[in-house]
Amino acid sequence: MNDKTLEKSSLEEKPKISNSALELTQKVQMHFPRGLNPRLLSAWNGVPMEYLDKELFGFFNRYPNPALKLSHSMNVGEGSGGEFFVRNKFAEEEWIAGNDFKRTFFGSKVKALNGSVCLKQYRLLRDRSIRDILDEINFFQDNHLMENTTLKEILILVELQNDGSSGTLLSDGKSNLFVIEDSMVDVLFDKKWTFAYCPKDGFLSVKEKKSRIFVRYKK
C-alpha cells in the first residue's frame, strides 16, 4: 500500500460532521454570546422545547438588561491554616468586623478547601438591589453552574493582600462583594480590611464603578 492510499484511507476513517450538526454549530456561533459554557448547551439537549420556552422567556422577561458583566475568572488555591474558627482568626489578624458580620459568622468554623476553586469576577452595570442581583445569580445556580463562595476563599484573597497591596481585591476603599449565605459580604480596605454583612434589602449603585462581585463556579 503506497503513501497516497494510506492518506486516502486515513481521511475516510475520520468522522464526518453531518450537515445538520454543522448548521447547528454555525447558528450557535452566530446567536449565542461568546464564552457561553458548552455544558449549558449540553444540558439543554433533550429538554422539551415548551420547558425551554417558558424558562428562557421568564428569565429574559425578568432580566432584559442584566446587571452583571463577567470581567475574568481565577483559581483560588488552598492557602494556609486548614480549619479554624472565624472568631479566633479575626482575633489573630488586625481585621475589622461589622456587628452584622459578627452575628452571622463569628460562631462558625471554616473548613479547609479541597483543592482549588474557580471564582468569577463581575462588575456592576446597573443600579440594582442586592435581592435582584442574587435573583439573577440564583438563576445560574439553579442550572448548576454557580454556588456560594465561602469565608475560606475570601480570607485567602485577603491574606494575599494583607497590607493593602494591589492584587485581585480592590484596596482603594472600593467594595469587594462576595455572594455567601444567600446574601453578600462586603470586604474593603481603608488602612485595615473591614468585613460587613450586606442584608438583602441593601442597594448597589453603579456610581461605585470599580466595585467587584465574586461568585464561585462549579468546575
In tens, the pLDDT along 155-182 reads 999 999 999 998 899 998 888 999 886 7
Three-state SS at 212: strand
Q: How far is CA 186 from CA 85, 101, 216, in A?
A: 20, 10, 15
Tell me, what's the pLDDT at 97?
Answer: 96
Q: For residue 3, give the C-alpha cell.
A: 503513501
Write the single-letter amino acid at 32: F
Report the C-alpha dihedral over residues 83, 176, 123, 79, rounded to 10 degrees.
-30
Q: What is the sign, positive or negative, of the torsion defined by CA atoms of 27, 33, 35, 41?
A: negative
- pTM listed for this prediction: 0.67
Three-state SS at 72: strand
Cβ-contact 209, 172 below 8 angstroms: no
- The 10s digit of each residue's pLDDT in 5-63 is 555 555 455 455 567 666 666 666 666 666 666 677 677 777 777 777 666 666 665 65
Tell me, what's the pLDDT at 59?
Answer: 63
Q: For residue 127, give the C-alpha cell.
A: 443600579
- Count of C-beta atoms within a 10 Å radius of residue 101: 21
Comparing 198 with 113, the larger pLDDT belongs to: 198
Cβ-contact 212, 170 below 8 angstroms: yes
